[in-house]
Structure formats: structure tokens, C-alpha cells
Structure 1
Amino acid sequence: MPNAPRSGERTRIGVGFLGAGPVTQAIHLPSLSRLTELFAVAHVMDVDESVASSVAGRVGARHSASMDELLADPGVDVVAICSPHKFHAAQVIAACRAGKKAVLCEKPFAVSAEEAAEIAAVSAETGVPIVVGAMHTFDPGWLAAERLMGSLPETAHTLRSSVVLPPNPRFEDFATEVIARPAPSRPDYSEPAVIAAALEGGILGLAIHDLPLVRRFVPTFDDLEVLRAELVKPFGYEFLLRASGRTIELTFAMNATWKPDWTFEAIGPDSALKVTFTPSYVQAGSAVAELTASGSTTVAGPFGHNGYEGEWRRIAGIVAGTEQAPDAGTLIDDLRFALTIVDGARAHVLEAAA
């Protein structure tokens, strides 16, 4: 595990974490442990100071229960925001105002288009770049797919994101012994408002991984229609959407078996793309891209690292000045796309109930 830089040792980029839950423990710390030549974990903050202390102790970092204390820490160059969604916008803005070199924020980086626009304005004002942790967009398998797909973004008529996963703790526990895991809840799914909230959670918590990929094929979505929005037992969702003349299918099912599956597909009249991703929390292997056209299939991948590591490599390049930060307008439109689906799903559920 990376250790905090010692006094006078500033050859590595110091990282500070706001939030020390499963995402920090089972995703980011293992990823950074493979990039110790680039990064050192300097500070871990959590509202539960005992959790912050325990997690920081694994990597030799400082700890606190105060965002202000972390932002004032001169050893923190990059702030990673892994707190609940509702805190993201305020924390991103505070990190930019603190003059850090970059901010990595877990998705969604805001919960409204207005918050997203405010974040973009502050980022532009302060010059602090923002990276949203949609790891699939940084996966070398997806980046290879973008190079392969040719005219498919203009011709595709069907887009699919299909996910089958067992419960997250199976993956989390492979990476680390997660402490302070949230207690599972059992909502009453007979109530339309609860169903709508669960579908919102599915979009902003899971489908959002692939929505930036969908947006590669759906640059405009003012005409988006939600044709179907349903929960799948014991937990999952099915969405059927139309936008820009494309059919979009988003499905997720959780089951008790081990075998996971996560695929993204784009299908056109003359070619088809399939990208197979590793599951969330898995720290090995990149996506594999397969483009079929003219009767033959071109395969790209697997590569030497996955999207989790890819996003940190991108941050290192941004800090070094060798790579560009993601376009703020694209990040805002990706979020607007997700929120438009959420609004449409809520209306669909409440209308069906009425």
C-alpha cells in the first residue's frame, strides 16, 4: 500500500480521501497500491473518525473527521471524493477553492444540472480539473473500442447495457476487509414512490457507469422517452428508452450465484460492437472489445490495467500536464442524461400507478 509522503519527499502526488467507505477501501486503495511510483495516500477523512483512523493506518496516512482539515493539508494534491451523493457538489467546489491540483469525484458528481453547472464554473474559475469516476470511460478496452467503431456512432440503432452481479460484498471482500459497511435496507416496493426512488438509485448508482458510453451514440436527448421502467426481483431494473431515433436497453439483475456478466453493445445495420467489462470492485483485467463488420470480428484486449487504474493514470497525466482534463460540457451533459432518465422513470411509474 502507498504511504504518505515524508517531509521534503514530494516526488509523488499526495491523495486525500473524503469518505472512507467501501469504494475507498475496496476500489481506490487497491488501485493506488499498483501505482506507488505516481501516488501516495496522504490523508483519509471520514465522519466516523474510528473508520478514518483504521483505513489511514493501512497506508500510513494521516486521518481526520474534518473536510476542512484535509483540504488544508499541504500534503494533499488531489482530492478523491467518495462520500454520499448529496455531499458531492459542495465538496468538489470546496476542493477547487482550496487550490488542489485535481479532483476525482465518484459518480454522480452532482444531483442536479444546476449543481453541475456551478461545479463547472468554479472549476473554470480556479483552474482545478475535475475527473468523474465513471471507470468504464477510462478502461483501455473501451478506449480501444472507440478507435475501432468507425461510423457506428452515427449508424447504431440499438444500444444495450446488461449487468448481472451477485451482491457487492462478495467483490468488496476480495479486495480488502471492509469496515463500516452500511446495513442493508428492505424498502416496501409496493409503494410507487419507493419504486421510483429505487429506480433512481439504480440509474445514479449503477447504470451511470455505462451512460457516458451510451451518450457516445446519443449526443442529443431532448426527445428521450421512457417506454419501460421496472424493478426486477430480488433487486434489479429494466429500462427501455428511445432517444435520437435509437433504442436503449438498460438491465441489471442481482442473483446469488457467483458468475457475473457486464456487457455494453451497440448494434447497427452493418456492424456491431460488444464490450465485456470486469465487474465492479474486481481489481484484475480490462474490458475486451469485439467489433464485427463485413463478416469478420476484430478483438481488442484484454490489456494490462482496468478502468479503476486508468482513471488514476489519467489524473497523473493531468497533474503532470501531459494529458487534458475531461471536457466539463460533456460531464454536464452525461449527468443531464442520467437525470432525464430518472425524471422520465419517475413519471412513468407514477402514471402507471395512477
Structure 2
Amino acid sequence: MKIALIGCGAVTQAVYVPLLSRRRELFEVSAVCDLSPTLAGAVADRLGAAGRFTDVGEMLAAGGFDAVLVLASGSHGETVRQALDAGYAVLCEKPLSLTRAEAAALPPDGRLMVGYMKQYDPAVLRAEALLDGVRIRSVEVTVLHPSGEAQLAFANLVQARDADLTQVRKAEAALLDAALGADAPESLRNLYNVTLGSICHDLSLLRRFTGSPERIDHVAAWGEAPGSIEISGTLPGDSGRFAIRWHYLEDYPAYRETVAIHHDQGTLELAFPSPYLMNAPTVLTVVAPGEARTEWREVTEAFETQLLAFHAFVTTGETPRTGRDGALEDIVTAQRIAARYAVQHGLPLGGEAREL
């Protein structure tokens, strides 16, 4: 399958380039696009791509590929819309967009898969099977998040400063205005960005395990941005509760994310390593009746499994784990989180979040 890449930054270089290089029997990268000519050239050289672009519209018009991977940072709504309108299948890294309006503007019949790689982690798939039919009492998440530089120090990334990001930053600011209102303070914007940029992975797991939260009861944030964030609320059907605690700890030794699921018959705990470490296993610990304790791990890479799922989606029509509707659920939840925080702290709130 011939593909094109949009965005040649950290996740592309550290994750997608190695994976696409070792799955050349399935994927041929025909073109790459980045605002930085240096990054576009570096990634194209590593993957043997002939097409090198700094403008998305020009690359889509030139064609020569079947599908597009949207891997740039920030909101992807407009880029995804252009690619779908041009008839390409799309794998889009999370978040799909910063606003509900962007998601609603996408063609309903477009072939879109949204990338939440943790949903394709073998440990997550096993946990889903073990949870089938049990009554979940609570889900408790803790994320310890070092700096991106610390997590990627091993990757030897190509750095470049030859891209003009002025218009990109203006567009992102306008989208945040649309989501939260023009008067939303920086504390609210930071909360929303962290929720859609990182905590959305945990929201996507909640969607798989229990369904999206029914109610957001409490939101707290403290420390210098991005700081620490705490979110709690009710699971669907008032069947249980969830709590998410996310901490940015710049000098913490290593990324760690734990998801503990307590149910009437025991506990499942998932311990995720840094997402940038290829084939590092997620550890699933199962505590069953009688205090039997079992650990399970597998080195199959979640990002690679996700790529294989995208290949199956495009070639055979296999349904992805998250499409537009699932991604939109996460955007709605993020806006409900922002709205709850604004109400609790008496902050001005407008835009889409005010409507929830």
C-alpha cells in the first residue's frame, strides 16, 4: 500500500520511520510533507520517498499514493478534511481536532481511523477479554510524565528551525477560542491541551473498558504548567467511578502510566512504559479470587499492531477501534472537563464547552 506522511517531527522519526522501515512488505512511503524542508528531506531520505513537500495541498494534488498518515502535532481537523475530500484513506494521530465543529465538518463517508495506539496494545486487548461480563467498580489512572526531551534522548532526532510556525500558532489559538471562548484564561487552555494531548489516551481506554464518563464531578490543577491535573467522575449507568491523576515531572526517571481496574471479582492493573520505546512490554497484572496473582507481558509493539490494523482497514474494510465518532466522544469529554474546572474556579468560559 502506497502511503504519504504529513508531519516529520518526534513521533514520526522515533516511531513511524522504524516501523515503516521494517514493514516494507506492506507499506511503501511515496511522499512526505512537513513545514520544515529539513525534516521532510531527512524523513524522505530514511524511507526512500521520492515526493518531498512543505504544503499539504500540493502533496494531496500530486497524488501517487493510496492513504495518508497525519502525524503532525496539534489539531488535525483541517488536514484530515482535505485528505478525505481528496479521496484518501487516513490514519490520524490523536487528537482528531480541538473542536467539535472540525470533526463535524469531516465527510461522513470518509475512510478515517484515529490513532490511539494503547487500544491496540496486546495487554489492553487481553484486559478487555478478561473484563467481559464483570461489573467494574472503579478505574484509577496515574500518569508520571517526564519531559519529551528526556523520553526521546535515545532517538537522535533530526532538529530543524527552518519552518515558519506563525500561521499554525494563530490557527491553534483561534481553535482554542472556538472551543473554550476568547476570554478563557491560560490555566483553562493548559488543562484542555493536556487533556486532548495526553490524557485522551486514558479517555480512549475508558471508552473501551466502560464507555465514556457519564459525569465529571471534580477537576483540579496545580503547579507550573503543564503541572498536575486530577479528574474524577462517574462511569456510565452510575455503575462505578473513575479517577485520573496526571503529573508532569520534568526530571522524573522514566515515563510510567498505570491503569487499575477494580471489579467485583478482582483487579486488573496495566503498567505502560514510555510510548517511544519500541517493543517494551506493557505489564498486565491480574489479581483473582483467592489472592491469585498473575503477571502477563508481550513484546508485540502497539504502534505496529495499529499500523497493521490500518492496512486491514484500507484493504479489507476492517472496522478500526476508533473512528470519527469515538474521537468526537473524547473531544466532548475534554470539553466537559474544561467546563467543570471553569465552574469550580469561577473562570470565564465560552465557545463549544459552554454548551455542554
TM-score (norm 2): 0.82
What amino acid does structure 1 have at the position aligned with 2:137?
Answer: H
Q: Does the Cα contact within 8 Å between 1:199 and 1:231 map onto a contact in 2?
A: no
1:280 Cα offset (Å) = 2.4
Matched, 1:36 2:32: no
What amino acid does structure 2 have at the position aligned with 1:111?
Answer: L
1:261 Cα offset (Å) = 1.5
**Aligned partners of 2:87, 2:152: CA distance in 1, in Å?**
33
Q: Which stretch shows the higher mean deviation, 59-68 or 287-296? A: 287-296
What amino acid does structure 1 have at the position aligned with 2:55?
Answer: S
**Aligned partners of 2:344, 2:303: CA distance in 1, in Å?**
34
Q: Taking structure 1 as reference, are residues 329 and 51 closer, same or farther at Cα in structure 2, changes over 3 Å only?
A: closer
SS in 2 for 1:159: strand
Gaps of 5+ in 1: 1-12, 184-191
Q: Equivalences for 1:27-106 in 2 at 5 Å?
A: 27-61=15-49, 62-86=51-75, 88-100=76-88, 102-106=89-93
Counterpart position of 1:145: 127
Matched, 1:336 2:336: no
Q: Taking structure 1 as reference, are residues 328 and 196 closer, same or farther at Cα in structure 2, changes over 3 Å only?
A: closer
Q: Deviations over 1:64-109 (max 9, x none)?
A: 11112221343322211123433x1111111111111x21111110
**Aligned partners of 1:268, 1:332: CA distance in 2, in Å?**
28
Matched, 1:252 2:255: no
What amino acid does structure 2 have at the position aligned with 1:338?
Answer: A
**Alignment equivalent of 2:98, drawn from 111, 116, 129:** 111
**Alignment equivalent of 1:136, drawn from 89, 103, 118:** 118
Residues paired across the two proteins, number = 322
What amino acid does structure 2 have at the position aligned with 1:57?
Answer: D
**Aligned partners of 1:302, 1:236: CA distance in 2, in Å?**
32
Q: Does the Cα contact within 8 Å between 1:199 and 1:230 map onto a contact in 2?
A: yes
**Alignment equivalent of 1:236, drawn from 227, 233, 239:** 227
**Aligned partners of 2:311, 2:209: CA distance in 1, in Å?**
28
1:142 Cα offset (Å) = 0.7
Q: Deviations over 1:28-66 (max 9, x none)?
A: 212222322211222111122232223222222121111
1:150 Cα offset (Å) = 2.7
Q: Does the Cα contact within 8 Å between 1:225 and 1:344 map onto a contact in 2?
A: yes
Gaps of 5+ in 2: 166-183, 349-356
Percent identity of paired positions between Structure 1 and Structure 2: 26
Q: Which stretch shows the higher mean deviation, 289-298 or 128-137? A: 289-298
Q: Does the Cα contact within 8 Å between 1:195 and 1:349 map onto a contact in 2?
A: no
Q: Equivalences for 1:258-277 in 2 at 5 Å?
A: 258-277=253-272
1:157 Cα offset (Å) = 2.5
Q: Taking structure 1 as reference, are residues 163 and 180 closer, same or farther at Cα in structure 2, changes over 3 Å only?
A: farther
Q: Deviations over 1:134-171 (max 9, x none)?
A: 1101111111111111334xx22321221113211122
Q: Which stretch shows the higher mean deviation, 243-252 or 273-282? A: 243-252
TM-score (norm 1): 0.82
**Aligned partners of 2:339, 2:11: CA distance in 1, in Å?**
27
